[in-house]
Amino acid sequence: MNTDILIIGSGCAGLYCALQLPEEKKITIITKSDLESSDSFLAQGGMCVQRDESDYESFMEDTLKAGHYENDRHAVDVMIRSSKDVLADLLSYDVEFNRDEDGELLYTREGAHSNKRILFHADITGKEITSKLLAAVKKLSNVTIYEHTAMIDLLVKENRCYGAVIENADSEIELITAETTVLATGGIGGLYAHSTNFRHLTGDALALAVKYGIALKDIDYIQIHPTTFYTKDKTERSFLISESVRGEGAKLRDKNGNRFVNELLPRDLLTKAILEQMEKDNTEFVWEDLREIPEEELNSHFPNIVKHCKEHGYDVRKECIPVVPAQHYFMGGIKVNDVSKTSMEALYAVGETACNGVHGKNRLASNSLLESLVFAKRAAKDISKENTGLEKTKPADIYTEEYWQMFLRKNMQAYKEEQALKENYKELVLNEIEKAKEAR
Ligand SMILES: Cc1cc2nc3c(=O)[nH]c(=O)nc-3n(C[C@H](O)[C@H](O)[C@H](O)COP(=O)(O)OP(=O)(O)OC[C@H]3O[C@@H](n4cnc5c(N)ncnc54)[C@H](O)[C@@H]3O)c2cc1C
């Protein structure tokens, strides 16, 4: 298969990137599972948007403070200043956000935000955004999507990417050669026992980045979400009890029912406090109390949380629910510049697998959908330029389809040993994270 632009991953970053590319380009999107199984569909809380000019300083400060001032200020500036533009795009794709009775957009607040600047669609904001992006992509005749198709290797020669080796839905190994490749493979939660991420998100792009020496950044910065629903079943994805529940007044309690922490602390500090409390109490969870939130608010803003707890035997209107921290988000990733270009020619990375420095050491709640969208659009605009002004080299004539077919035949046996390949990639990523930790 040959394509102009190969996008790997169909979360909000991959889809929005496809929508922003020129319609005369042939675009191929591959996705490891089905189209609805991306973390983008899981985002509950919402998406930050700069309210107005007066919100700029505090949006910047909240993001920097949550990130322990290790953020790239320029990247944060780009994200904040582009937020209105992304919002306008989303509205044009018919994305709906909650509004007041006058039809004005409603904004909510989450931990570590000093202003209400988060747009939401009940507690399924990610699903609302991503399903509308998907619907828009499906209307494009220049885009082909392959589900249950995984990238298992990149085609790389002399620090230039020529596409990917894939395993298709029939478990056949094939090549897709491409002028430009965009990695949009999301987070790394599948590598951890407890994570809110889909289990198939195993940081495959990162493993390949390690393999080919593509620059990485901050890969030991991994966010643990302080409050996921506690269950004894460890094989399931952890269900998130959104930050905005605490923003609306939920309290955390120890085993004796006493409050032990300021619930609106940034995620890393709150996680630390919860883990300390669990150790002190010798428990596997702490309690979250949603009873102060008015019933009407619970039903309109958090229907899925109410439903999930109910299905697991808890009525949030009457009793506390057990919550525990779990791996949630990956701040680090493949190092990219402000147009999402990696250190390899013809290779971009967007969304959670990329690191442009927006989040620093710790992500501010509801900044990741926005960051993914802003920098996916910037990647698309850069790819669309005839001469990017970047170090884009012309593909060498010798690395043709035929060359890559030979490469494929040579490596076929290794690709077929699926389990060994998976373990090898997992080890590559986890070792690299350990090395980064040690180097700090
Ligand atoms: C439970 C939960 C709640 C969240 N809530 C919020 C929130 O309220 N606000 C907010 O801003 N952020 C939130 N986030 C974070 C946010 O959802 C993600 O950071 C964002 O959606 C990432 O988008 P993405 O497109 O990079 O990745 P994803 O949406 O995860 O998409 C990754 C895609 O890559 C594909 N893929 C992976 N590996 C391969 C491979 N080898 N080959 C082919 N395809 C591959 C996957 O199948 C998937 O389609 C939340 C995350 C979770 C888990």
Beta bridge partners of 217: 333
* Residue ID of nearest Cα to ligand 1 atom 26: 351
Does ligand 1 come within 6 angstroms of the Cβ of 241?
A: no
269 in the same domain as 163: no
* CA atoms of 91 and 97, how far apart (whole Å): 9
Is the distance from CB of 76 to CB of 60 less than 8 angstroms? Answer: yes
pLDDT at residue 47 tops 60? yes
The residue whose two tokens read 């990696």 is 342
Per-residue pLDDT reduced to its tens digit, 81-90: 999 999 999 9
- The answer on 178 and 114 residing in a single domain is yes
Same domain, 96 and 25: yes
Mark whether 157 and 93 lie in a shared domain: yes
Query: Looking at residue 259, which CATH number applies to its domain?
Result: 3.90.700.10
**Catalytic (active site) residue 267:** yes
Give the per-residue pLDDT at 395: 64
Count of C-beta atoms within a 10 Å radius of residue 103: 6
Which of 327, 359, 378 is where one domain is finished?
327
Instruction: Write down the mean pLDDT value for the chain.
Output: 94
Last residue of a domain, one of 298, 327, 356: 327
Q: Are strands 47-48 and 118-119 parallel, antiparallel or unpaired?
A: antiparallel
Q: What digits encode the pLDDT tens for the residues 165-202? A: 999 999 999 999 999 999 999 999 999 878 999 999 99
Residue 420 CB neighbours (<10 A): 10
If pLDDT is split at 50, 70 and 90, which confidence band does 343 have? very high
- Does 254 lie in the same domain as 194? no
What's 144's DSSP letter? E
Ligand 1: distance of its center to the CA of 416 in Å?
A: 27
220-244 per-position pLDDT tens digit: 999 999 999 998 877 778 999 988 8
Of 393 and 26, the structure prediction assigns the larger pLDDT to: 26
Predicted pLDDT at 414? 95
Q: Is residue 30 within 6 Å of ligand 1 at its C-beta?
A: yes
What is the pTM for the complete model shown? 0.92
Mean pLDDT of 20-29: 96
Q: Are 178 and 383 in contact (CB under 8 A)?
A: no
**Strand (E) or helix (H) holding 227:** strand 222-229
Better pLDDT: 385 or 161: 161
Mean pLDDT value of segment 111-118: 90
Domain boundary pick from 327, 344, 378: 327
Shortest-distance atom of ligand 1 to CA 150: 42
CA of 369 to the centre of ligand 1 (A): 9
Please check the confidence at residue 284 and state whether its pLDDT lies above 70. yes
What is the side-by-side order of every strand in the sheet holding 216-217? 216-217, 333-335, 354-355
- Per-residue pLDDT averaged across 18-37, rounded? 97
Confidence tier at 386 by pLDDT (50, 70, 90): low
Q: Is 429 in the pocket of ligand 1 (CB under 6 A)?
A: no
Ligand 1 atom closest to the CA of 240, numbered from 1: 1
Q: What is the pLDDT of residue 193?
A: 79
Q: From the CA of 191, how far away is ligand 1's center (Å)?
A: 14
Beta strands at 347-349 and 173-183: parallel, antiparallel or unpaired: parallel
197 shares its domain with 346: yes
What range does the domain containing 257 cover? Answer: 225-327
Q: What is the residue-wise DSSP string for 328-343?
A: EEE--EEE--TT-B-S
66 touches 363 (CB < 8 A) = yes
Q: Ligand 1 within 6 A of 228 CB?
A: no
- 211 and 68 in a common domain: yes
Average pLDDT over residues 303-309: 95
Active-site entry in 117, 246, 267, 378: 267
**CA–CA separation, 104 and 422 (whole Å):** 48
What's the number of domains the chain is made of? Answer: 2
Q: Which atom of ligand 1 is nearest to the CA of 354?
A: 26
Confidence of residue 390 (pLDDT cuts 50, 70, 90): very low
Q: Which atom of ligand 1 is nearest to the CA of 189?
A: 53
